Amino acid sequence: MALRLYNTMGRKIEEFVPIHEGFVGFYGCGPTVYNYAHIGNLRAYVFLDTLDRTLTFLGYDKKHVMNITDIGHLTGDADEGEDKMLKTAQERHQSVLEVAKFYTDAFFNDIDRLNIIRPDVVCKATEHVQDMIELIKRIEANGHTYMSGGNLYYDVTTYPDYGKLANLNLDDLKAGARIEVDQNKRNPYDFVLWFTKSKFENQALTWDSPWGRGYPGWHIECSAMSMKYLGEHFDIHTGGIDHIPIHHTNEIAQSEGATGHKWVNYWLHNEFLVIAKDKKAAESGQAEKMSKSHGNFLTLQSLIDKGYNPLDYRFFLLGGHYRKQIYFSWDAMDSAKNSRTALVQRVARLAQNAGGADSLNYSKIYSKGEACKTENLSEKAKEYIEKFQAALENDLSTPVALSCIQKAVKDGSLKPEESLELVRRMDSVIGLNLVKSAADFLAEQEKEKKASVPDHSGDPEAQEIDALVAERVEAKKAKNFARADEIRNMLSSRGIIITDTPNGAVWKRS
């Protein structure tokens, strides 16, 4: 089986065929750094990470590029609303660049805590304005622009395929259009490539350009930076479904308007994280997407403050397919936390059966294609790897992939060492840090065990009892239950009660 992905361009599952054999170039829309990312935003980056890890698992070389929007982005995708960056800078009494740096650092802190691999290229909009200007020049030379009211606009009527990603019909759009907010536009769906007449006084960041001093429109940055690092025709572009009708539609128009040929082969979009008062409200359609504008957002730190590990949230997200809405609730988070904890503890038990914590080599990193090879595996283990790979190749089906790990750690027909190897391989994609978490769990258990052992130095009788209890433990391990019972009875007659705990046998005087 080959990798198959749902391509929004065409609305169907397609076999993935890269432009260059063995190599994948993909671009994912990054954050606008004017506030903390909320957990709904972070869903997109867990999805991107799954794609990134899957490509490595399947043996591809890849180049993953992501932008950082640190130039003002309006609250409406259609060139309307407030400038988010400027608004936050004014509220915090800081410069726009200071705000951008603070929230960029906060974003990557969240990314790291979710065990998301950082993209190969992270590019800031403020550092690529000249690339945007050069691209706009090409768009202008091809006859797709006009100046109006001091701003340079893209004329969507000059691009016959406008709206093909979102299945929009331009004639229908014109007929049903409301009165334009921007009276400078010839068509309500035209969009700004370059602002010289800002809607805001004293715009914080401006640059010289052939059209006057100003700043770029939001959409142009993704086109310019993706082409700079991936070329004018690349494999995959990703983003949230809210990007389809305007942002990605406009990206395609300006990119193909500049180059005159196809820009991206596969468009992948993740669904929303939705939130409601309760499950009944969600099922009745009263849920809404988590967003800053709605004021209903939660940050990753807010989950941590409630006692959740960031990887509990990653587990929660992987339990749903990226193209399906996920309903967020605290009950769902509790379930994810309990399931992840149980999985970690099972991996820890496998390690104990395989020789202890030393068997947990969590520093091992698999090179491209290595984790899915089935040489030197038993037939049963091969089945698990093959099912896991098939799940990923079926449009990144993480719920099925996750269940493969859960079943493998419970399968008593596998040797503990082989089960651990399966966990390492599968977790190279799932990214739950299972082996390291299991090692941490065992270390904490050992710490608690040592803390529970009293200091009996200077007490010969207690030392004698310790020795007998230790002998009983060894007798049980050797299945010499007669001797184990004899020791228990002997100590019991002396008023010593033995209790077997997860941390070992302990005793006390009655």
Known binding residues for Zn(2+) are 29, 222, 247, 251
Q: Which two tokens stand for residue 2?
A: 């080959």
Residue set of the binding site for ATP: 292
DSSP state of 438: H
Give which of 257, 225, 63, 31 is closest to 161, Cα–Cα: 257
Tell me the residue ranges of DSSP E strands in 96-233. Answer: 121-124, 145-148, 151-154, 191-195, 215-216
In sequence order, what DSSP letters do the residues of 182-210 get, joined into one string? -TT-SSTT-EEEEESS-SSTT-S--B--T
Instruction: Give me the helices (H) in 240-305, please.
Output: 249-259, 279-283, 300-305
Give which of 416, 355, 427, 353 is closest to 381, Cα–Cα: 416
How would you classify the pairing of strands 215-216 and 191-195? antiparallel
Confirm if 35 and 293 have CB atoms less than 8 A apart: no
Residues 421, 91: Cα–Cα separation, whole Å:
52
Q: Which two tokens stand for residue 481?
A: 């239950």
Residue set of the binding site: 29, 222, 247, 251, 292
Q: Is 357 exposed, middle or buried (0-12, 13-18, 19+ CB in 10 A)?
A: middle
Any bridge partners for residue 26, and if so which? 64, 236
